[in-house]
Amino acid sequence: GSAAAEKKRWTLNDFDIGKPLGRGKFGHVYLAREKRSNHIVALKVLFKSQLKQSQVEHQLRREVEIQSHLRHPNILRLYGYFYDQKRVYLILEYAAKGELYKELQKCKYFSERRAATYIASLARALIYCHGKHVIHRDIKPENLLVGAQGELKIADFGWSVHTFNRRRTMCGTLDYLPPEMVESVEHDANVDIWSLGVLCYEFLYGMPPFEAKEHSDTYKRIVQVDLKFPAKPIVSSAAKDLISQV
């Protein structure tokens, strides 16, 4: 938005609230329309109490700071934020075609053409982020949304500035973590390239490459890079080569 928009103090009165789009980690997300511009947005409502008890306030602050400065067609925009007594509100770009992981669940796996289109746009978004010394560290289907024209949008607030010693509490799935993070040693932007390979595999086969029943088994498969390609669905050797290289 314009420079003026950047400095504007937003309040809930600036918006007409529409239907709920679903639940995020720390609260609900609503469709909303900014009254003056009639601009459609997603309003993510986070409860301060939950942020406090999960000790993520400082992380949210930094990630909002990063996200609001990123401008790329395959990165979901953060237009601004505001808060009241109990809640923090994030004014986000509305992705009209929703959550990619639901689409992947529905069609089990994607065609090579569709997977290639998604991976190429993610690669462009990561080149942009790494160019600004931002590594994402949380590339996975759940963090991807789809725009009105079917374009991919990285939407998670797991962005973090390029840091070496920021430990990530092992919350959520290990599936997407590369060896250096699973062994929680220092890591750099290449962690995102690894995750891109994991994502490419999951787009084509419908499951992540190192999936296992137990966490400890997933851990072992990752550190050993125990990469196996199922016989079905049929995937080109070019695609397998790309996944192996990445």
Ligand X SMILES: CC(C)NC(=O)[C@H]1CCC[C@H]1Nc1nc(Nc2ccc(C(=O)N(C)C3CCN(C)CC3)cc2)ncc1C(F)(F)F
Smallest distance from the beta carbon of 141 to ligand X, in angstroms? 10
* CB-nearer residue toward ligand X: 141 or 197: 141
Q: Compute how many residues bind ligand X; rule: CB under 6 A.
A: 18
List of residues 6+ apart from 84 with CB closer than 8 A? 12
Smallest distance from the beta carbon of 51 to ligand X, in angstroms? 15
Taking CB under 6 A as the binding criterion, the range among 19-27, 110-118, 186-194, 229-237 that sits at the site for ligand X is: 19-27
Taking CB under 6 A as the binding criterion, the range among 5-13, 23-31, 173-181, 232-240 that sits at the site for ligand X is: 23-31
Under the criterion CB under 6 A, does residue 137 sit at the interface with ligand X?
no
* CB-nearer residue toward ligand X: 44 or 187: 44
Cα–Cα dist 145/94, whole Å: 9
Under the criterion CB under 6 A, does residue 156 sit at the interface with ligand X?
yes
**Residue 191, SS3?**
helix
Smallest distance from the beta carbon of 241 to ligand X, in angstroms? 30
Under the criterion CB under 6 A, does residue 44 sit at the interface with ligand X?
yes
Cα–Cα dist 149/95, whole Å: 10
Under the criterion CB under 6 A, does residue 22 sit at the interface with ligand X?
yes
Smallest distance from the beta carbon of 172 to ligand X, in angstroms? 11
Quick one: which of 85, 81, 41, 87 has its CA closest to 62? 81
Angle of CA points 83, 54, 22, to nearest 5°: 60
Residues of this chain, 47-106, that bind ligand X according to CB under 6 A: 76, 92, 94-95, 98-99
Quick one: which of 137, 115, 128 has its CA closest to 190? 137
Taking CB under 6 A as the binding criterion, the range among 17-25, 58-66, 185-193, 196-204 that sits at the site for ligand X is: 17-25
* CB-nearer residue toward ligand X: 30 or 210: 30
Cα–Cα dist 245/239, whole Å: 10
Residues identified as active-site: 138
Under the criterion CB under 6 A, does residue 151 sit at the interface with ligand X?
no
Is the separation of the CB atoms in 117 and 110 below 8 Å?
Answer: no
Cα–Cα dist 110/107, whole Å: 7
Contact positions vs ligand X (CB under 6 A): 21-24, 29, 42, 44, 76, 92, 94-95, 98-99, 142-143, 145, 155-156
